[in-house]
Structure 1
Amino acid sequence: MSIRRVMPVLHAEAADPADGEFYAALGFEQVMTHGWITTYASPTTPAAQLSIMTADRTAPVNPEVSIEVEDVDAVHDAMRARGAEIVHPLQDEDWGVRRFFVRDPHGRVLNVLSHR
């Protein structure tokens, strides 16, 4: 199973325009925003990213980390075979990803995804 990127998901009560200025001062560029989530990336190392999320649009909980993998279906099958708790079912989202949420052994919620 190939991992393409791992990205922290930071939580915020509300979207704040000052976030963009703050992260720009650290060298990040805004690369995606949906209102409820905004992602910033390094222009020189595009896989170096972080997201700020208020509340996930389709899931019952917010993840703490996003992990982009080559084959999300294979990872989903592996997690189910381990008996891991699937917190949000495997599904295609209208913003172009296929994903599921799984709880790790320490209780953290991970968003595992592939771009379609």
Structure 2
Amino acid sequence: MRARRITANLKVADVGAAKNFYSDYLGLSTEEFNMGWVARYTSPDTGANVQLVTHDATAAEDSVISVHTDDVDGAYEEARRLGYEIVHPITTEEWGVRRFLVRAPDGNVVNIVRHRD
């Protein structure tokens, strides 16, 4: 699998309440999206970003990072072949991403995702 980008998924109790710290204080002022339960904030100058997550809307567990890849289906088949635990099966979500969640051997849950073009 080839990772194009990795985004930290920070657990927060309330995206709206946490927004000002990340957008104003840290300078991640561009809100790329906000779905209520997850929002991504990015620096317009550097591209640094973070996702704030209250809970995953469709998966039973929350992920600690999102790994963006061009070949999510290939990554899914490779994870299965290698025997990694699939926490959330490959799914095209209603908000347009195709993704699955896999548990790393250290116990962390990783969101492997491809956004629509």
Question: What TM-score do you get using the length of structure 2 for normalisation?
Answer: 0.91
Question: SS at 1:73's partner residue?
Answer: helix
Letter of the 2:33 counterpart: M
Distance 2:39 2:84 in 1: 28
Distance 1:15 1:115 in 2: 21
Q: Structure 1 residue 112: deviation in Å?
A: 0.2
Q: Structure 1 residue 15: deviation in Å?
A: 2.8
Identify the residue that residue 106 of structure 1 maps to in structure 2: 106
Cα distance per residue 1:7-45 (max 9 Å; x no partner)? 11010122333x222112211022110000111112123
Structure 2 unmatched runs, 5+: none
Identify the residue that residue 34 of structure 2 maps to in structure 1: 33
Change (3 A) 1:96 1:45: farther
Identify the residue that residue 72 of structure 2 maps to in structure 1: 72
Identify the residue that residue 53 of structure 2 maps to in structure 1: 53
Question: What TM-score do you get using the length of structure 1 for normalisation?
Answer: 0.91
Letter of the 2:104 counterpart: D
Structure 1 unmatched runs, 5+: none
Identify the residue that residue 81 of structure 2 maps to in structure 1: 81
Question: SS at 1:10's partner residue?
Answer: strand
Distance 2:51 2:38 in 1: 7
**What's the RMSD between the two structures over aligned residues?**
1.2
